[in-house]
């Protein structure tokens, strides 16, 4: 199966809960040996694969195939969850294709991805796709109110999460993240203002490109900001000089930059310089 959707929609959590439902020794208890070891990623019949650096390499898939060649230890079958499956390199995808075509015994394979189009057509054609979509804003507000958050904070978190439960949970666990987000947005607005000289934009792009651990996180903040602006403009809650089409272009440019930085070997600095000039 392919679980597809943008980040922080709960794809990985649903995959793990699905496995726990299948293997639970009680009745979806969450506390039995199977459930606890699935959570700890130590269950012998559940393989969870994540990128090694920027990609998932063929060696990781070969190890999975070798693991699947043995009978299940405790469960009725074996399960593999491949997180960020779009980061499998071409060799890894061709290798997983063989496993999809000729499964070794009873097995389930779940590919979690934000970009299913990056998977080979032959891989996609041999899977069933389950699409994940943003959650209704009112549902997120309802969850936050149950957790005891004030109305003002609930409204802000619901708007900033843009229908992504994982983002809402992150904000609710650590509200200081919202302040960090505000700082990032303020910096973005300063750097991209009409009064900002080009050398300031280029310097910011250079500095951000060197912060490899946080590039995607910063771009995700920019993306959520422009999406929130678009929603407010559609609802006519704010008046902006920017046209709807310009906001949409900014969103498209940021999404493309996130893809290039996380999926390809493109030069991060050049990608960010181009983006900063377009915003």
Span 159-190, pLDDT tens digits = 778 788 888 888 888 877 888 888 888 998 89
Span 29-87, pLDDT tens digits = 778 899 999 999 999 999 999 998 888 999 999 999 999 988 899 888 899 999 999 99
Task: Measure the CA–CA gap between 272 and 268, rounded to whole angstroms.
Answer: 6
Nearest to 125 by CA among 89, 107, 101, 109: 101
Q: Does residue 113 belong to any structural domain of this protein?
A: yes
117 and 25 assigned to the same domain: yes
Mean pLDDT of the chain: 88
- Token pair, residue 38, equals 């699935």
Q: What is the CATH number of the domain that holds 111?
A: 3.40.50.300
Q: Does residue 144 belong to any structural domain of this protein?
A: no
Show Cβ contacts of residue 72 under 8 Å, excluding neighbours closer than 6 positions: 45, 78, 105, 106
Number of folded domains that form the chain: 2
Q: Which of 49-58, 160-169, 233-242, 250-259 has the lowest mean pLDDT?
A: 233-242
What's the half-sphere exposure (Cβ side, CA atoms, 13 Å) at 23?
Answer: 30
Q: Does residue 204 belong to any structural domain of this protein?
A: yes
The neighbouring-strand residues paired with 79 are 46, 108
Confidence of residue 252 (pLDDT cuts 50, 70, 90): very high
6 and 126 assigned to the same domain: yes
Q: Is the pLDDT of residue 234 over 70?
A: yes
Q: Which of 220-229, 250-259, 267-276 has the lowest mean pLDDT?
A: 220-229
Confidence of residue 237 (pLDDT cuts 50, 70, 90): low
For residue 136, the model assigns a pLDDT of 86
Q: Does residue 35 belong to any structural domain of this protein?
A: yes
pTM (2 decimals)? 0.78
């Amino acid at each position: 199966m392919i679980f597809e959707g943008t980040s922080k929609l709960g794809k990985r959590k649903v995959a793990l809960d699905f496995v726990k439902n299948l293997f639970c020794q009680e009745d979806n208890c969450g506390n039995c040996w199977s459930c606890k070891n699935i959570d700890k990623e130590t269950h012998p019949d559940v393989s969870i694969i994540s990128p090694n650096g920027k990609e998932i390499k063929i060696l990781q898939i070969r190890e999975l195939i070798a693991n699947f060649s043995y009978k299940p230890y405790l469960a009725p079958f074996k399960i593999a969850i491949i997180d960020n499956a779009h980061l499998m390199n071409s060799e890894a995808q061709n290798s997983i294709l063989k496993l999809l075509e000729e499964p070794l015994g009873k097995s389930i394979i779940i590919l979690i991805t934000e970009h299913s189009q990056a998977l080979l057509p032959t891989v996609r054609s041999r899977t069933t796709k389950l699409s994940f979509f943003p959650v209704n804003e009112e549902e997120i507000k309802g969850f936050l109110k149950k957790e005891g958050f004030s109305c003002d904070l609930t409204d802000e978190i619901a708007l900033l999460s843009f229908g992504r439960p994982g983002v809402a949970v992150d904000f609710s666990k650590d509200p200081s993240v919202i302040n960090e987000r505000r700082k990032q947005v303020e910096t973005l607005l300063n750097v991209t203002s009409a009064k900002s000289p080009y050398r300031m934009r280029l310097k910011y792009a250079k500095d951000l490109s060197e912060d490899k651990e946080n590039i995607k996180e910063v771009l995700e903040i920019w993306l959520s900001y422009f999406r929130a602006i678009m929603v407010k403009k559609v609802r006519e809650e704010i008046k902006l000089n920017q046209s709807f089409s310009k906001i949409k272009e900014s969103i498209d440019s940021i999404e493309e930059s996130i893809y290039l930085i996380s999926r390809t070997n493109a030069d991060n600095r050049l990608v960010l310089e181009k983006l900063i000039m377009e915003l």
